[in-house]
Structure 1
Amino acid sequence: MVTVSLLDYGAGNVRSVRNALSKLGYRVVDIDKPEQLRSAQVVVFPGVGSFGAAMSFLEQKGFLEPLREHVRADRPFVGICLGMQTLFEGSEESPGVHGLGVLPGVVRRFQIPDSAHPLAVPQIGWNGFAPYKQSPALAGLDEDSCVYYVHSYYVPMADELHDWILTTTTYGVDYVSAVQRGNVLATQFHPEKSSKTGLAILDNHLRAVAAGAAVPRAPPALESVRASAQTRPRKRVVACLDVRTNDDGDLVVTKGDSYNVREVSAAAAASAPPGGKGAVRNLGKPVALASRYYEEGADEITFLNITGFRDSPLGDLPMLSLLVEASQTLFVPLAVGGGIRDYVDAQGVAHSALDVAAAYFRAGADKVSIGSEAVVAAKAYWARGGCGDGSSCIEQIAHVYGRQAVVISVDPRRVWVDAPAAAGAHKDACVESPQGALGPAGERFCWYECTVKGGREGSDLDVVQLARGCEALGAGEMLLNSIDADGQNRGFDIALVSQVKRAVTVPVIASSGAGCVEHFSSVFAETDVEAALAAGIFHRKEVSVADVKLHLKAKGIAYRP
């Protein structure tokens, strides 16, 4: 059995890599000391976070020279995402910080989106890739194979990398998405989060290394290679699970109608305890449902913790255990939301939002979703005249784990007015009669107020202010809910989604309102969002993830098969 030595530098979700390798049948050990590198059969270096933080860790722990020697000696190695970028001389992310320098060149930042470069940054999602040369690592894959990317920086194509380039990808520019020479393989994408395709790449390479047959064939001339159409970004279909304890203390998946998760039928009301409002709607067990969506082809799975976090998220062991269990078998990105904030526990011990996020990451999450605290952070940002001070949970988490790990979960509701001028400070954020809806008194205009505490309280902050403020603080993605559309099955709120998509340069996930497969193609066509999310229609089997994928195929929309 091949033993894989995992270099964990303390940032990001290493559990996913460990689970993927274990799933494939490899023995995994952690590298704690530099001398362990010299005896390691295979070294895997997963990276999430900043270039500077990773290099600082390697230097402080004495790993720099042993790791550089390991790669230069062509000893078996797999670098993932930042683990690939550190092989180069430096990165624009951390000017003045030297990389390992095994490969020539500097890692560049994607251009900020504009009319000439409209793609969101970070690149978050599934893309195909174009093989630059044949390799055992790519055996059995075809042009429909997709892998998962999450990054803001890329390796440019260059003649000096001719002998190293394994695959290329297009995201506004053609760039190097994997390198390989001999026993050394590194990928910009995350194979541990790329479902069966990613697991196959890992297994193929490790088997070839063990057999002494990892060397790829010589590549063609660099100038003759162009990333093909299959590398274009794919729209993501996200399955969301609202998780809470029911009245018996069991962890269940539920779903609300306009955020009300309790049954309201006469029968349910009659059986409710005195003063109660009906039983919590139970749609299944979290991991079992998530596993079904994984098998159906969900591109990402989001768990929203909607109860226990209010008092003590670090003490919410069932939710942490859920993530540990889910990450053992679900090899797509996992996001979790609920309770990402500073708090003081019942024993009087203070915990930071960074502590909470770290616990979720170590349990198996790849992203954390921030809700009410994002509203607090954005209001403080604008109160300071549009600048951060490093104190918000968004800034703290993005600094350590990278902005791609921070998702803002927005819970807006319509505030109806007769005319934009009546909205006062929010007049520029007004839209006209979204999808033919009218206000209670026939109003034709509205602005979207961001709410807190699960939609129970307003904030006098409009959705544009929130989105722009949080992006400036370091958020890498927006999860856009709608209190008005939630549970209505009438389609996504196109006006809301369009407004936010125009306001930010980061990826946007449309949520709330999906009732049929056509709603997915509509939101992709009308707003160009990167992803669309649904919950209730998937839970109740009214529509499956596979149904949505088949519909996107019929509509000619790029998707992950």
Structure 2
Amino acid sequence: MSSSNIVYVIDVGSGNLRSLINGITYLGFQTKLITNPADLPEPSASTNLILPGVGNFGHFVDNLYSKGFEKPLKNYIASNGKIMGICVGLQTFFKTSEESPTSKGLNLIENFNLSKFDDSDKPVPEIGWNSVYSDSALFYNLDPYKRYYFVHSYAGILKQDDEATKKALKDWNIAKCKYGNQEFIAAIMKGNIFATQFHPEKSGLAGLQVIKSFLLGDSSPADLSHYTDIQKAQLSNDYSNFGLTRRIIACLDVRSNDQGDLVVTKGDQYDVREKIGGNNVRNLGKPVELAEKYYKQGADEVTFLNITSFRNCPVKDTPMLTVLSKAAETCFVPLTVGGGIKDVLDVDGTLIPADEVAALYFRSGADKVSIGTDAVYAAEKFYANGMKGDGTSPIETISKKFGAQAVVISVDPKRVYIKTLDEVAPNKNAIKTKFKGPMGEEYCWYQCTIKGGRETRDLSVYELTRACEKLGAGEILLNCIDKDGSNSGYDLELIKHVKSAVKIPVIASSGAGNPQHFEEAFEETNCDACLGAGIFHRGEYTVNDIKKYLLSKGLKVRMDIQ
């Protein structure tokens, strides 16, 4: 293969590079990882070097510098070497970040610091699909009618009529994005330098086109002539949801069946065995094949929930790592994995910390990890410790290294009905419900469970989610035991209850049976995403069916169907 087909990717051990490598391979190029600055390629206009980064700004740039990349990178860029930064790779081009003010970037965008989004009017982190625009022409085939995947809390926030900002950016071409009422830098270009705040390798076909344009040296704007006026109206951003589309997530519950095969299954109130025909584990298909199917239908994310314990298997050989690795080869949207993300005692007696377990999944293709039972334990410890963490929980260790956006809390609450508010402590945050209990009770609180709903704890969902947010979680996956497998719609009261508790994004889960249920959740609760499982597995509706329905109701969705 010729040298022009080689893409050099800097690897400082930060998060998921697997998806980027897979995207480059999909486009017909070969990847060479660079872990030593001495191996950087000779700078030229035809050399392709990518600096990808995820997670905490300080952790990333400190690693970059400790490995000796600072001066060689600056020399490479000064010598007209072609480079593309992705996410924290873009942020590295700034001076520093409010996230880690003592850590210094490359200062290519001189004297411009990154700052945190204002969370008083929107969820933070920004997690989802937003659009880009420019005061002049866009570049590298960025398309204002496409959506790109953003996941970050800090950004190069643009202040109107700010002279210092104008001075810092005067020589740069800027693509902008708006989240809530804040405008920020979505992408930059100057000569041999190109960078995106969004993840193109996780932005479906639209993102792959951006990577391809960089690799081919095509910095021209996208051709928009094929869009009809109707399509432009449907696909343009109306900023009704802070600028984000309504995210639709396909969920795959994965476990071993009685024959030892990994299958996708689905239960009724978490019971995944057939009621007739031998009580076998319900088999709805193979996880990798279903993940690709839902990706091609337009799923904005795919979540794998591992509900099997592999106690006799070395951690590095866990079958879910292979599932993720294979799925990431064909699914260019975010992948989340849950189950077993905790401190693990390996089969040889070695204790593997939770952040290292998470790192294995990230290297296999995951973008986020989901924590369930251990999140409840961490929250209980948080309150016992005077409402503060001690730095040892999986939430804290993983978010510190990989960023809050990489940590999802999977919550499994169930309703507990009460006749009066006096029956429970105020910290349980009981609510008055429209749906009375079996004895006519007008109030309820949501009790947390662990171990797949098999055990209850003296902790409310309100307490749990608030504690996890404080400990460093970036998103809540809100299940509901009472609604699971019911096809009767999401528990809207539960979703609104948790949305009032936290400022981080909340994913509605459990109960979706038709497209109207997705619409109800988005319109009535302002949830940040809706997750479906059985509705897709049974083939009653495709992801595209749901999106077309939402679009017909005036809700913006990402349309990137294959």
TM-score (norm 2): 0.91
**Cα 1:398/1:5, change in 2 over 3 Å:** same
Give 1:32 shift. 2.2
> Is the counterpart of residue 459 in structure 1 residue 457 in structure 2?
yes
Paired position in structure 1 for 2:199: 190
> 2:183 is paired with a residue of what secondary structure?
strand
- Would the alpha carbon gap of residues 419 and 526 (structure 1) be closer, same or farther in structure 2, given more than 3 Å must change? same
SS in 2 for 1:95: strand
2:398 aligned residue: 397
Kindly indicate whether the alpha-carbon contact (under 8 Å) linking 2:6 and 2:30 is maintained by their aligned counterparts in 1. yes
Residue equivalent to 1:129: 132
Offset at 1:284?
0.6
Specify the code of the residue in structure 2 equivalent to 1:147.
Y
Residue 85 of structure 1 contacts residue 107 of structure 1 at CA under 8 Å; is this kept in 2? no
Deviation at 1:475, TM superposition (A): 0.2
Aligned partner letter, 1:469? A
Amino acid corresponding to residue 339 of structure 1 in structure 2: G
Count of aligned positions: 530
Rounded Cα–Cα distance in structure 2 between residues aligned with 1:153 and 1:502: 23
1:155-174 to 2 correspondences below 5 Å? 155-157=156-158, 158-159=165-166, 160-172=168-180, 173-174=182-183
Alignment equivalent of 1:177, drawn from 166, 182, 186: 186
SS of the aligned residue for 1:29 comes to strand
1:3 equivalent in structure 2: 6
CA distance in 2, matches of 1:26, 1:377: 44
Aligned to 1:237: 248
Partner in structure 2 of residue 224 of structure 1: none
Letter in 1 for 2:114: R
Unaligned runs of 5+ in 2: 159-164, 223-235
- In structure 1, the residue matched to 2:501 is 503
Distance 1:350 1:68 in 2: 40
Residue 47 in 1 paired to residue 53 in 2? yes
Cα deviation digits, residues 107-157 of structure 1 (max 9, x gap):
33334422xxx211000000011134435511xx54320000000001123
- Structure 1-normalised TM-score? 0.91
Counterpart amino acid of 2:71?
E
Are 1:90 and 1:106, in contact at CA under 8 Å, matched by a contact in 2?
yes
**DSSP-derived class of the 2:377 partner:** helix
Is the counterpart of residue 79 in structure 1 residue 77 in structure 2?
no
CA–CA distance in structure 2, aligned partners of residues 311 and 417 of structure 1: 43
- Paired AA for residue 470 in structure 1: C
Structure 1 residues 6 and 168 mapped into 2: Cα distance closer, same or farther (>3 Å)?
A: same
- Counterpart for residue 260 of structure 1: 271
8 Å Cα contact 2:42-2:81 kept in structure 1: no
Distance 1:56 1:437 in 2: 53
Q: CA deviation at 1:311?
A: 6.0
Q: 3-state SS of the aligned residue for 1:504?
A: coil
1:426 deviates by 4.3
1:65 alignment partner in structure 2: 71
- 1:17 equivalent in alignment to 2:26: no
CA spacing shift, 1:229–1:66, aligned 2, 3 Å: farther
- Contact 1:403–1:474 (CA under 8 A) maintained in structure 2: yes
Q: What displacement does 1:183 show?
A: 2.3
Aligned to 1:299: 300
Distance in 1 of aligned mates of 2:311 and 2:445: 29
Mapped contact 1:112–1:505 kept (Cα < 8 A): no
Offset from partner CA, 1:162-201 (integer Å, 9 cap, x none)? 3323310001311111001122110000000000000000
Comparing 236-245 and 26-35, the one that deviates more: 26-35
- CA–CA distance in structure 2, aligned partners of residues 403 and 329 of structure 1: 26
Given candidates 190, 200, 204, the residue that maps to 2:213 is 204
1:56 is aligned, of 62, 67, 83, to 62
SS of 1:96's equivalent in the other structure is strand
**Contact in 2 for aligned 1:451/1:457 (Cα 8 Å):** yes
CA contact (8 A) 1:240 1:534 kept: yes
CA positional deviation for 1:101: 1.0
Residue identity in the other structure for 1:176: I
Instruction: Name the CA shift for 1:362/1:402 in 2 (closer, same or farther; >3 Å).
Output: same
| Residues 461-480 of structure 1: pairs in structure 2 closer than 5 A | 461-480=459-478
Deviation of 1:57 (Å): 1.4
Contact persistence 2:124–2:504 (CA under 8 A) = yes
Any idea what SS the aligned residue of 1:137 has? Answer: coil
CA–CA separation in structure 1 for the residues paired with 2:79 and 2:309: 51
Residues 133 and 216 of structure 1 are in contact (CA less than 8 Å); yes or no, is this contact kept in structure 2? no
The CA deviation string for residues 351-404 of structure 1, in whole angstroms up to 9 with x for no partner, is 111121111111110000000000000000011111111011100000110010
- Say whether the 8 Å CA contact 2:477–2:506 is kept in structure 1: yes
Q: Distance in 1 between matches of 2:424 and 2:550?
A: 38
* CA 491–21 in structure 1, closer or farther in 2 if over 3 Å, else same: same
CA distance in 2, matches of 1:331, 1:15: 11
Q: CA RMSD in A?
A: 1.8
Contact 1:136-1:204 within 8 A present in 2 as well: no
Aligned to 2:94: 88
2:389 aligns to what? 388
Structure 1 residue identity aligned to 2:260: G
Shift of 1:33: 1.7
1:313–1:339: 8 Å Cα contact kept in structure 2?
Answer: no
The answer (yes or no) to whether the contact 1:38–1:66 under 8 Å persists in 2 is no
Distance, in Å, in 2 between the alignment partners of 1:308 and 1:10 is 27
Q: Is the CA contact 1:47–1:82 (under 8 Å) kept in the aligned structure 2? A: yes
Deviation string, structure 1 residues 261-311 (Cα, Å, up to 9, x no partner): 00013xx2xxx3xxxxx0000001111111111011000000000003466
Deviation at 1:451, TM superposition (A): 0.4
2:377 paired residue number: 376
Going from structure 1 to structure 2, the CA distance change for 1:540 and 1:316 (only over 3 Å counts) comes to farther
> 1:95, 1:30 → 2: CA distance?
29
Q: SS in structure 1 opposite 2:273?
A: coil
Q: Classify the secondary structure of the residue corresponding to 1:242.
A: strand
| Inter-partner Cα distance in structure 1 for 2:491 and 2:252 | 20
The corresponding residue for 1:553 is 551
1:462-510 Cα offsets, whole Å, 9 max, x none, are: 0011000000000000000000000001110001000111110101100
